[in-house]
């Protein structure tokens, strides 16, 4: 038996006891040593594979599987919550957009919708008057200022008027609050100098870059409010 055939036989079965394999080892000491080395290597491999199984391995595997399943469920739950929150936010934005959106084609319609939507949130005698400096600080965004107060200012803050950053003012009126909007000019909304619905009357003043809209009940003199605005507001160039 040649050396290649012998090695193949020993590699395939280190404990090969065929007559020709035994005869080859007896005739050639190097073949006998090779067979012995391969047998020792095979024994080491068998010993390495004989790892004792811990008694609690089954429980550990079950616990690991349970924890992994729990983590998957938690991730799914977070994903579902995130999707639900996103849907709620989109729904809220959609409702808000439908209430105050470009479906209104005029300053008048939008102003009346805005005031009707927020009706009752502020009472005519709510709180202390807001200082004129607070109002003028916000008016800087529109390059304007009031030289004096138009009355007791109950509320002042930015708002979205048909998607535009505008200024929303609420003053104390004779019987109910008077609302004033400072709105950047927008060609998409038609201008109405006077308007009304069943409850409110309104008027709009056009300036260089902005429109100022007044909305109040029938007990107010819109012309007087508009005159006071004309006499009081100034615009920077």
pLDDT above 90 coverage of the chain, percent: 40
Q: Are residues 35 and 115 in the same domain?
A: no
- Which of 132, 182, 175, 122 shows the shortest CA–CA distance to 152? 132
Q: Is residue 91 part of a domain?
A: no
Report the CATH number at residue 195. 3.40.1000
For residue 156, list its beta bridge partners.
169
In a domain, 81, yes or no: no
Taking residues 104-126, report their average pLDDT.
Answer: 86
pLDDT at 230: 95
Residues written for the chain:
237
State both tokens at 139. Answer: 């008016």
What's the pLDDT tens digit per position in 165-195?
999 999 999 999 999 999 999 877 888 899 9
In a domain, 131, yes or no: yes
Burial class from Cβ neighbours inside 10 Å (0-12, 13-18, 19+) for residue 68 reads exposed
Q: Tens digit of pLDDT for each residue in 195-225?
A: 999 999 999 999 999 999 999 999 999 999 9
Q: What does pTM read for this prediction?
A: 0.57
Q: Where are the alpha helices (DSSP H) in the chain?
A: 3-12, 19-27, 29-49, 57-99, 107-117, 132-139, 222-232
Judge if 43 and 121 occupy the same domain.
no
- Nearest CA-CA partner of 110 in 95, 100, 125, 121: 100
Structure tokens at 70: 């729990």
Q: Which of 54-58, 100-104, 144-148, 219-223 has the lowest mean pLDDT?
A: 100-104
**Does any domain span residue 136?**
yes
pLDDT for the residue 47: 76
Enter the tokens of residue 49.
């594979």
224 and 122 in one domain? yes
For 61-88, the pLDDT digits (tens) are 676 777 676 676 767 666 666 676 666 5
Query: If DSSP codes are grouped into helix, strand and coil, which group holds residue 212?
Result: strand
How sure is the predictor about 14, in pLDDT bands with cuts at 50, 70 and 90?
confident
Q: Is the pLDDT of residue 91 over 80?
A: no
Q: Is residue 92 assigned to a domain?
A: no
Of all residues in the chain, what percent carry a pLDDT higher than 70?
79
Query: Is residue 97's pLDDT more than 60?
Result: no
Is residue 69 one of the residues assigned to a domain? no
- Give the pair of three-digit tokens for residue 214: 């007044």
Residue 62 lies in a domain: no
DSSP 106: B
Question: What domain range includes position 117?
Answer: 107-235
Q: From the CB of residue 166, how many other CB atoms can be counted at a distance below 10 Å? A: 21
The secondary structure of 122-151 as a DSSP string is: S-TT-SPPPPHHHHHHHHGGGTEEESS-SS
Residue 226 lies in a domain: yes
The count of domains in the chain is 2
Residues 38 and 132 in one domain: no
Distance CA 225, CA 22 (A): 120
Same domain flag for 123 and 229 = yes
Residue 44 sits in the same domain as residue 112: no
Same domain as 124, residue 37: no
């Amino acid at each position: 038996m040649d050396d290649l055939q012998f090695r193949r036989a020993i590699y395939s079965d280190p404990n090969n006891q065929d007559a020709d394999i035994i005869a080859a080892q007896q005739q050639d000491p190097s073949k006998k040593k090779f067979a012995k080395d391969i047998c020792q290597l095979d024994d080491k491999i068998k010993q390495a594979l004989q790892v004792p199984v811990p008694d609690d391995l089954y429980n550990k595997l079950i616990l690991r599987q349970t924890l992994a399943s729990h983590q998957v469920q938690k991730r799914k739950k977070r994903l579902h919550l995130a999707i639900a929150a996103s849907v709620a936010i989109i729904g809220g934005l959609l409702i808000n957009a439908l209430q105050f959106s470009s479906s209104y084609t005029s300053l008048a319609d939008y102003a009346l919708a805005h005031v009707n939507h927020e009706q009752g949130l502020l009472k005519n005698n709510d709180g202390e008057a807001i200082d004129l400096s607070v109002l003028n600080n916000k008016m800087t965004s529109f390059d304007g200022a009031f030289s004096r107060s138009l009355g007791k200012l109950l509320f002042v803050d930015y708002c979205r008027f048909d998607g535009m950053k505008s200024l929303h003012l609420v003053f104390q009126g004779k019987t109910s609050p008077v609302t004033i909007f400072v709105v950047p000019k927008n060609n998409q909304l038609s201008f109405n100098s006077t308007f009304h619905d069943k409850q409110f009357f309104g008027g709009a003043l056009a300036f260089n870059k902005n429109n100022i809209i007044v909305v109040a009940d029938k007990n107010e003199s819109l012309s007087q409010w508009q005159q006071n605005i004309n006499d009081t507001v100034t615009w920077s160039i």
